[in-house]
Structures are given as structure tokens and as C-alpha cells.
């Protein structure tokens, strides 16, 4: 009976306070889950994604290796590829000294393979060039100055000789 009396004397505020703490706790729980999701997203974009990209680039580099390429292993050994199999590479590190490594042990290639230029790109570059109109006007002006007004032929006096080798004087014998 004394417990009931205590509850009645405390008033209805006791029950409302319990409700408020339940709502606050559920809100805090949702905020915590959102923060965990944000942290996982940050970890993915900062750590996991770049590491996968590097691994993919390394796999492509190892697949492009050819006999005669100079490479560096993950241990720092420099050598030239002499033989290759599906999972191993034989490197010549000095004259007559060959060592077998796993393909995955190749850290980087020192040989640069330049991509072959496409013929279409070269043709497009040539086709895209257009002579500016300023130069066309200059060409017409120069032709007009060199032509004789009456006959329409080139005036030889106004045409300058192109620079080249000077003519050798003829020997008089």
C-alpha cells in the first residue's frame, strides 16, 4: 500500500518522464546507426576502393609483361625477363645468373610500352586544319603585286630569288 501511495503522491510526471527517455533513447540509437553507416562509407572510399584499384592495375601490368622487359620485384631485385609461364617468371639478374619468381612478386616494370597511335587520329588531325582567312588575303595581295597589270604575267624584277646555294662563278680557261 505504501508503494501505491508513493506513486500517487509523485503525480503523473513520473510516467511522462519514462516516455521521454524512451523516445530519446530510440533517437540516439538511430543516430548511432547512421554514424556507423557513414563511417563504413568513409572506410570504403578511403581504404578499400583505392586498394582494389591498385590491385587491378597491378594485375593488368603483370599480364602485359613480355620476354625482355626489365622489371623490379617486391624485394627490390632488378632483372630482365628471360622466360615466363602462367604463374612464374625467370629473371636474369646478371650475366649467367637467373632466378625464378612468382608472377605476383613483380612490383613494377621499368620497360615503357608506348601505345601505337591510331591511323584515324592522325588523319583527323590533318583534316581539321584550315588556313585562316588572313593568310588567303595576304596570298592574293602578293600575287597582285607580282603580276604585271597590263599582261597579267609575273614581273621578274619584283620576284626575289629564293635563298639557297650561291652560284659558283664559271672558271675562265
> For 104-111, what is the mean pLDDT?
91
Q: Has residue 72 been placed in a domain?
A: yes
> How many independent structural domains does the chain possess?
2
The range of the structural domain enclosing residue 8 comes to: 2-56
Assess contact for 144 and 158: CB atoms under 8 A: no
User: pLDDT value at position 25?
Assistant: 80
Tell whether 93 is covered by a domain: yes
Q: Do residues 79 and 71 touch, judged by C-beta distance below 8 A?
A: yes
Question: CA of 156: how far to CAs of 3, 31, 152, 164, 168, in Å?
Answer: 129, 92, 12, 18, 22
Whole-model pTM: value is: 0.47
Q: What is the pLDDT of residue 27?
A: 84
Average pLDDT in the chain: 76
- The count of other CB atoms within 10 Å of the CB of residue 40 is 11
Q: Per the domain annotation, does 143 fall within a domain?
A: no
121, part of any domain: no
Residue 101 lies in a domain: yes
Distance from C-alpha of 125 to C-alpha of 167, rounded to nearest angstrom = 40
pLDDT tens-digit series, residues 85-107: 989 999 999 999 999 999 999 99
Amino acid at each position: 500500500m505504501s508503494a501505491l501511495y508513493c506513486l500517487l503522491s509523485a503525480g503523473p510526471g513520473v510516467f511522462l518522464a519514462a516516455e521521454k527517455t524512451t523516445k530519446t533513447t530510440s533517437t540516439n540509437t538511430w543516430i548511432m546507426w547512421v554514424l556507423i553507416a557513414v563511417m563504413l562509407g568513409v572506410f570504403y572510399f578511403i581504404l578499400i576502393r583505392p586498394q582494389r584499384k591498385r590491385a587491378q592495375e597491378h594485375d593488368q601490368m603483370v599480364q602485359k609483361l613480355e620476354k625482355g622487359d626489365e622489371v623490379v620485384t617486391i624485394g627490390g631485385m632488378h632483372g630482365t625477363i628471360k622466360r615466363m609461364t602462367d604463374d612464374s617468371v625467370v629473371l636474369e639478374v646478371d650475366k649467367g645468373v637467373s632466378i625464378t619468381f612468382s608472377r605476383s612478386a613483380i612490383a613494377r616494370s621499368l620497360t615503357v610500352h608506348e601505345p601505337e597511335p591510331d591511323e584515324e587520329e592522325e588523319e583527323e588531325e590533318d583534316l581539321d586544319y584550315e588556313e585562316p582567312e588572313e593568310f588567303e588575303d595576304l596570298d592574293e595581295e602578293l600575287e597582285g603585286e607580282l603580276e604585271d597589270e597590263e599582261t597579267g604575267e609575273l614581273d621578274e624584277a619584283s620576284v626575289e630569288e629564293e635563298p639557297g646555294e650561291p652560284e659558283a662563278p664559271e672558271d675562265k680557261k
